[in-house]
A and B are shown apart, each in its own frame.
Chain A
Amino acid sequence: MSLYPPIRPEYEVPLTPLTDVPLQRKLSLAQRLWQQSWLRKSLILLLLALLWEVLARWQNNDLLLPGFLQTAQAFVDGVTSGELLEKVWISLQVLIKGYLIGIALAFVLTTLAVSTQLGRDFLSTLTAMFNPLPAIALLPLALLWFGLGQNSLIFVLIHSVVWALALNTYTGFLGVSETLRMAGRNYGLRGLRFVLFMLVPAALPSILAGLRIGWAFAWRTLIAAELVFGASSGKGGLGWYIFQNRNELFTDKVFAGLAMVIIIGLLVENLGFNTIERLTVKRWGMLR
């Protein structure tokens, strides 16, 4: 017996406007609060602080491990007396100078690399040579060349920023789709205008990643440089503050200094980079 599907009657449904079914439903307050990432992150920080305090109380040795409350006290004292903020300001000034010059240099290098064959070879060779070289290892040489002071610090900062950023930016440029490139050339964009109006925005996710890495590298390099050579430059920054207080066994102040480094990192990450990301690549749908 061969199988036939049954023949069913046709039907049509006239559609009436929907009025009684709500098209969207609000989430509950708890669900909406849990959607806020700052709330979740604060909870994590709170748990870590609690763990720290418990550990410190159990250890019961101020010299080795001051507790969270003690560190917070030292931090507030440092901020209110202005000493800590002054050190931060000194460090940040140097940092921003080095960072900006590094960005400019990386932009020039990558622009050369996308426009000429020689520029490409130049960038890849230099990056392969210098990227693995720790910036701090250049500091003795920098001190010899630029003397004791800001200039040698800026030199190592540039070194720590430029290669990571150039490498990321260049990779981003290479990843720009052929269609988008052709569209840009079709509009009559060439040379620097092509790089600025097509490549840079199209590669912004990679560029932002490079800027983040560069910022972290710069911070690390600066604090490390100040720890070792801060005294010699006369006015020391945050690294020097940490080093000095360790020498005098003010361990809570050492922790306060470290906390300052962390807090500045969190602020720049959340208020700086995340805001830029939200206003650009996330809004454009290039990044989830």
Chain B
Amino acid sequence: MIATPLLQVERVGLQYRSTTAVVQATHDVSFDVYPADRFVLLGPSGCGKSSLLKATAGFIKPAAGEIRLDGQIITRPGPDRIVVFQEFDQLPPWKTVLQNVMFPLLASRTLGKREAAERAAHYLDKVGLSRFADAYPHTLSGGMKARVAIARALAMQPKILLMDEPFAALDALTRRKMQEELLILWEEVRFTLLFVTHSIEEALVVGNRILLLSPHPGRVRAEINSHQYDLQSLGSVGFQETTRRIHRLLFDEGEPEPVKVSFQDVRFSY
């Protein structure tokens, strides 16, 4: 049986208007995201991956084509698609951690105050921040802020979770830890995720399916399965080969000679 896609992006063209010119960000991009997918948009800067995510969130209107969520055409931002941004200032500084997680629930009038507090506490516990419920965001570290943003997004139980390079501003060790935690959360909650990154390794680890975009303007280059990889497979031969394949697809290098993987090729950091 074939499931119906949750998110359908159909021949989408996105444009940016500056004062002197119209810049084409993406051209004729189509892809489908199915329920419980961890779908990754991967590409070099200028491939319009963030723009595609913003269009899905409803912040940008497509100049051509359409984006449908559950069959409904997306016209404006809404709480059924919660975004986790890269920037640390995505959490309103005037609200405590708990209030921050409750805020979208209350603002969208999804839940009453008491139920919102209960659900917020539940998801704060899931990301391991129960102890900091009453702290203000400025007292937290970058990784903790990212966790609050994820808890906030999960608490809304959105149809789809949109992440725009959520770990790019974190240090390498914290980033690795956050990827691990995200995968554990997915095992538990099975949310649908649309994830934007420019790191090939992160895409392979976090995603189960990867859309490769070429730059200027962003066009679809390939769609690749990566459900077989996780953090444990970082150094494995298959992982290395897929990494090289993606690299070739993105930067259009000629067919490389087959290389024997030796110990020096194993990379632990990215």
Q: A residues touching B (Cβ–Cβ < 8 Å)?
A: 177, 179-180, 182-189, 193, 197-198, 201-202, 204, 280, 283-286
Contact = CB atoms under 8 A, between A and B. Distances in A.
Contacts of A197: 107
A201 B94 contact: yes
Contact of B92 (A185, A202, A280): A202
Given A177-B87, A186-B57, A286-B93, A193 B138 contact: no
Residue from A186, A197, A198, A284 with most neighbouring chain B CB atoms (10 Å): A186
Contacts of A182: 57, 59, 77, 83, 85
B176 to A, nearest CB: 23
Contacts of B81: 186
A187 B108 contact: yes
A186 B136 contact: no
Contacts of A193: 107
Given A179-B85, A186-B83, 15 more contacts: A182-B57, A183-B85, A185-B59, A186-B57, A186-B77, A186-B104, A187-B104, A187-B108, A188-B77, A188-B79, A193-B107, A201-B94, A284-B136, A284-B138, A285-B137
A193 B79 CA distance: 15
Interface residues of B, number: 24
29 contacts: A177-B89, A179-B85, A179-B90, A183-B83, A183-B85, A183-B90, A183-B91, A185-B59, A186-B77, A186-B78, A186-B82, A187-B104, A187-B108, A188-B79, A193-B107, A198-B92, A201-B94, A202-B92, A202-B93, A202-B94, A204-B94, A280-B94, A284-B136, A284-B138, A285-B93, A285-B137, A285-B138, A286-B93, A286-B138
Contact of B87 (A179, A188, A198, A280): A179
B133 to A, nearest CB: 16
B94 A284 contact: yes
A285 B139 contact: yes
Nearest to B109: A188
Which of B57, B78, B82, B89 has the most A CB atoms < 10 Å from its CB?
Answer: B89
Contacts of B92: 180, 183, 198, 201-202
A63 to B, nearest CB: 54
A184 B89 CA distance: 12
Interface in B111-150: 136-139
Nearest to B93: A284
